[in-house]
Amino acid sequence: MTHAPVLDAEAAKRIRFVVLDVDGVMTDGGVYLGDVDGRRLEFKKYDIQDGLGILLLRWAGLRVGVITGRVSESVALRAAELKVDDLVQDEQARKLPALRKLCRKHGIGLDEVAFVGDDLPDIGVLREVGLPVVVANATADAAKAARIRLTQAGGAGAVREFCELLLRARGEWDALVERYVQSRSEGPVK
């Protein structure tokens, strides 16, 4: 039986920046590759509930970033759609230097960062951040570097699970949900 992870309020309130990996965290790790008239196309499937969790993080005033070791137009489109604050796509998967640069730019300490990863390219970051988190189907090596292992798999609600876990521990979840419901319950449909 898998038990829901627990996060104490003090640790949750220390977080100012939530950073997500893409393949295996925001997606199930699958990549659909194709060719149309000689043009390479790449598709990924994202969980819609994860996106709503990210919106609530932003509403809570948290900075949200995406750092991935793969360059993809799909990721750029999803990041823009979610209005994440920072996006780094580095085909060399140099995630820790990218995160350090973002933290310096925004005046945020690594101890104020939560990072959700799943595999070997994430271990360097997981070892350095204040709140290292992995999805349920993370590799054993990545899981060893994490403080929290989620119950949901990457691409299947893991990001949403983390967003809710963090915001509940901060005591903000219920008010944000109510704000969301009210924002969708007022005014005429156009």
> pLDDT digits over 21-41, tens only?
999 999 999 988 898 888 888
| Average pLDDT estimate for 43-68 | 96
* In-domain check, residue 61: yes
Contact between residue 24 and residue 119 where contact means Cβ atoms under 8 Å apart: yes
> pLDDT digits over 93-130, tens only?
999 999 999 999 999 999 999 999 999 999 999 999 99
Q: What is the CA radius of gyration of the chain?
A: 16
* In-domain check, residue 171: yes
* In-domain check, residue 146: yes
Tally the domains of the chain: 1
Is the whole-model pTM more than 0.75? yes
* In-domain check, residue 75: yes
* In-domain check, residue 188: no
**Long-range CB contact pairs, 90-95, < 8 A, 24+:** 93/69, 93/121, 94/69, 95/21, 95/67, 95/69, 95/121, 95/122, 95/124, 95/125
CATH of the domain at 44: 3.40.50.1000
* In-domain check, residue 1: no
pLDDT band at 1 (very low <50, low <70, confident <90, very high): very low
Block residue for tokens 């595999």: 119
> pLDDT digits over 131-159, tens only?
999 999 999 999 999 999 999 999 999 99
* In-domain check, residue 189: no
